[in-house]
Amino acid sequence: MHCICDIINIFKYFFVCCSFVHIAHAKLMTTYYPLHKLRKIKGLEHVKYVDPYAGSKGNSIRYLSVAPRTNDMKVVGVDNLFCAGEKSGLFVGHTEAICTGTLAGHNAVRLMMGLSLLILPNSIAIGDIISYENEKSETREGRKERYTFAGAGYFKRMQELGLYTMDMKEIKKRISKLNLDGIFDDKLC
């Protein structure tokens, strides 16, 4: 019998990124959960771990190319192209993809409308990670790093700069101070 913790752990860590052959593909961070335990769960009797992503060397092949971009997410040298997520820098994570993607989409519409493009200021974490990655990726050392709100060097930087907080009221206050409340809610066209 599996305890509830096992089940929670499986959902937390294992339905993220692995291949469940015969059922579906699911992403998984690492395949350290014992297969014999996993197979005891109803429906997962024939589950397999497969590693199609990077030939057992890692969990993915990515960042083969990153587009040079300005901090408004516009691709350098192309007048009407915006980028986001891992294509826009050495960013890791869904949150990072959502933040950069929202800004890129917003600015694409602004460009189309003839409006000035939005650059988020460094006094908020999203603005800071976007410009910091751009600045760091100019250097060889910086290109060896990855940029994420969830850890690595950037988390430390967020804390040091006082950008990290879980206090929603404080976050709203900071956004208000910059006159950015509901900035993505504004209907532009």
Ligand X SMILES: Cc1cc2nc3c(=O)[nH]c(=O)nc-3n(C[C@H](O)[C@H](O)[C@H](O)COP(=O)(O)OP(=O)(O)OC[C@H]3O[C@@H](n4cnc5c(N)ncnc54)[C@H](O)[C@@H]3O)c2cc1C
Whole-angstrom distance, CA of residue 63 vs CA of residue 90: 7
38 versus 83: smaller Cβ distance to ligand X: 83
Closest approach, Cβ 38 to ligand X, in A, equals 17
* Residue 76 interacting with ligand X (CB under 6 A): no
Q: Where are the alpha helices (DSSP H) in 39-167?
A: 94-112, 125-136, 152-160
Among 81-89, 115-123, 139-147, 164-172, the segment contacting ligand X (CB under 6 A): 81-89
58 versus 121: smaller Cβ distance to ligand X: 58
Packing angle of the helix pair 125-136, 94-112 (nearest 10 deg):
90
| Given 27, 143, 156, 172, the residue binding ligand X (CB under 6 A) | 27
Count interface residues toward ligand X (CB under 6 A): 14
Return the residue nearest ligand X (CB atom). Answer: 85
Closest approach, Cβ 28 to ligand X, in A, equals 6
Closest approach, Cβ 25 to ligand X, in A, equals 11
CB 76 within 8 A of CB 70: yes
35 is written with which tokens? 């297969």
| Given 59, 70, 122, 137, the residue binding ligand X (CB under 6 A) | 59
Residue type at position 8:
I
37 versus 94: smaller Cβ distance to ligand X: 94
Whole-angstrom distance, CA of residue 189 vs CA of residue 187: 6
Q: Give pairs for 178-181: CB < 8 Å, separation 24+.
A: 178/121, 178/123, 178/124, 180/120, 180/124
Q: Residue 11: helix, strand or coil by DSSP?
A: helix
CB 47 within 8 A of CB 21: yes
* Residue 109 interacting with ligand X (CB under 6 A): no
Closest approach, Cβ 61 to ligand X, in A, equals 9
| Given 16, 50, 109, 115, the residue binding ligand X (CB under 6 A) | 16
Distance in Å from the first CA to the final CA of the chain = 57
Residue list 83-102, contact with ligand X (CB under 6 A): 85-87, 92-95, 97
Q: Which residues bind ligand X (CB under 6 A)?
A: 16-17, 27, 29, 59-60, 85-87, 92-95, 97
